[in-house]
Amino acid sequence: MSLLSHGRYRPSAQALEFLKYIGPGLLVTVGFIDPGNWGANVAAGAAYGYTLLWMVTLSTLMLIVLQHNSAHLGIASGLCLSEAATAHLPRWVSRAALSTAMLAAVATAMAELLGAAIALRMLFHIPLALGALLTLLFSCGMLVTNSYRKIEGWIMAFVSLIGISFVVELFLVDVAWGQAVRGWVTPAFPAGSVPIIMSVLGAVVMPHNLFLHSEVIQSRQWNREGDAVIARQLRFEFLDTLFSMGIGWAINSAMILLAAATFFARGVAVETLEVAQAMLSPIAGDLAAFVFALALLFSGLASSITAGMAGGSIFAGMSGEPYNVADRHSRVGVLITLAGGALAILFVTDPLRGLIGSQIALSVQLPITVFLQIYLTSSEKVMGRYANGRWDSVLLWGIGLVVAALNVLLLADFLQ
């Protein structure tokens, strides 16, 4: 059936067409429901109850704009963010910016591998180092042996299982929904909360995801089909991003809701994710504790794969190449990211603090990636007729400045 009828889309056909383009957004979504988010969100809910839910809302709104803009770059230019930076910036500028992005990808991989290792220790009492190694091997195996579309299917399955797990969890605890609704829309900065707020920001708006989205959105080669098709696919991409980020917002919120309803409500201090899981048993039952650990495992496995893809994309882009796991530069980028993350785990003495610290590191690098992206997507040389308009630029620069301001707050908090 044609998508057009007298110059207009038929609603049923358009809906079916949209279903074909769900996938890239969910691949990105798994990156911000990763173990780093678990550490940040559990800490936020356990220490401050429902009052920091607004940060998930704000971060997700910023994320929708930034991820759409990143995908916009991939569709319109046929380049990922790393390739575009290499092609259109002085070499020393692009190398400096992309090197910090690689470090952020390594910090991300550390959190993903550590989270899966923690889950394996919860479920099967596997030592942390061995659990990280098993996750590393699983992620590398998936990346080397599976095509992108197969990986996309696996990730969609993982996201579904994580979402179902949290639906089950919320049915097992008593959530104060009135406080939750106020928390979602009312900004608050309780004493001592700035590091947690920054870790939530770093856990939701993640630098590697901006690089990843601009890469994976090209899997269907939309940019090669002409202006009319590009314009249509940009609309479908935005719906995919909106849908996927909405799922991420719900799952991140559920993490804080669970921690607030169980730990904060009872004044229970949470030192590690394993303590959180253990404390769920007497509070919400053994099923809640098991589901918590299982969802964390799914999260760690899935996000380790996407972290490796992002690192491979960044490193390949530094050589002016697209991501292709069969290519040497992409494979080296994947190896640097995942092996570097695994090595960093050896220096982590407190897993929960390690997870939160990794998210703070991402938030510090984030302004570099955001301003790099805004510069490139505002350039007619890069984007042609699809360069950011005036109001798009105002919104994007506003988001960039908010991110930078929050980093100043974090620095001031550390210096006190």
| 3 within a domain of the structure (yes/no) | no
Q: Comparing C-alpha atoms, which of 295, 297, 409 is closest to residue 360?
A: 409
pLDDT for 15 equals: 47
| 4 within a domain of the structure (yes/no) | no
pLDDT for 191 equals: 85
pLDDT for 358 equals: 74
pLDDT for 186 equals: 94
CATH number at residue 271: 1.20.1740.10
**Residue range(s) defining the domain that contains residue 148:** 21-415
What is the chain's length?
A: 416
| 9 within a domain of the structure (yes/no) | no
pLDDT in tens, the chain (416 residues): 333 333 344 444 454 454 556 667 777 888 777 777 777 788 889 889 999 999 999 989 988 999 999 999 998 888 999 999 999 999 999 999 999 999 999 988 998 898 899 899 988 999 988 999 999 999 998 898 876 667 777 887 888 888 888 888 888 888 999 999 999 999 998 988 877 887 777 667 788 889 999 988 876 554 455 677 677 777 778 888 888 889 989 988 998 998 899 889 888 777 667 767 776 776 677 788 888 888 889 888 988 999 999 999 999 999 999 998 889 999 999 999 999 999 988 887 777 677 667 767 777 788 899 999 999 999 999 998 899 998 999 999 998 888 778 767 766 665 56
| 1 within a domain of the structure (yes/no) | no
User: What is the DSSP code (8-state) at residue 265?
Assistant: G
Tell me the CB-side half-sphere exposure of residue 216, using CA atoms within 13 A.
Answer: 34
| 10 within a domain of the structure (yes/no) | no
| 11 within a domain of the structure (yes/no) | no
Q: For residues 229-263, b (16+ Cβ closer than 10 Å) or e, as one string?
A: ebebbbebbbebbeebbebbbbbbbbbbbbbbbbb
pLDDT for 8 equals: 41
User: What is the DSSP code (8-state) at residue 395?
Assistant: H
pLDDT for 203 equals: 64
5: which strand partners?
8
pLDDT for 354 equals: 73
| 382 within a domain of the structure (yes/no) | yes
pLDDT for 383 equals: 92
Structural domain total, the chain: 1
| 402 within a domain of the structure (yes/no) | yes
pLDDT for 272 equals: 67
The pTM assigned to this predicted structure is 0.84
8: which strand partners?
5
Judge whether 259 and 41 are in contact, CB under 8 Å: yes
